[in-house]
Amino acid sequence: MSMTREQVWIVVDRERDYQNQAYSGKEKTSSGQTREERDLDVAPGILMLDAYVTKAMLAWVDTKGTQLPALQQIAKIAAIAVRILERAGGSEELLTKGLR
């Protein structure tokens, strides 16, 4: 059985809550920027997506009998993508210009 779109968003929203609680926006990163400053640029988020795609692939390859570990990584990917859309500078243009 699969999930409904509403159930998917519940999972993604829970992961977004976790991300917000675990990683303070005021915390400095290795570059010296705060997470809030870093998140204005889409590039670090894209790199994070790439890293989690690799984790999802490895989870799929390394797990027998269940897809759950890969699906967990995929849900994290969705939440990271949502965070990028929430925080990247200029993302509000999508409201008027859309995706196409």
Extents of the domains making up the chain:
33-88
Instruction: For residue 62, give Cα distances in angstroms to 34, 53, 68, 74.
Output: 35, 14, 12, 15
* Assigned token pair, 23: 């990683």
Nearest Cα neighbor of 12 from 66, 65, 67, 77 is 77
- What is the maximal distance between C-alpha atoms in the chain? 46
Please report where in the chains the tokens 């699906």 appear, as a residue.
71
Tell me the helix, strand and coil percentages in the chain, rounded to 5.
70, 0, 25
Q: What angle do CA 36, 79, 19 make, to 5 degrees?
A: 50
Question: Would you give per-residue pLDDT tens digits along the chain (100 residues)?
Answer: 899 999 999 999 999 999 999 988 899 999 999 999 999 999 999 999 999 999 999 999 999 999 999 999 999 999 999 999 999 999 999 999 999 9
Contact by Cβ (8 Å): 12, 82 = yes
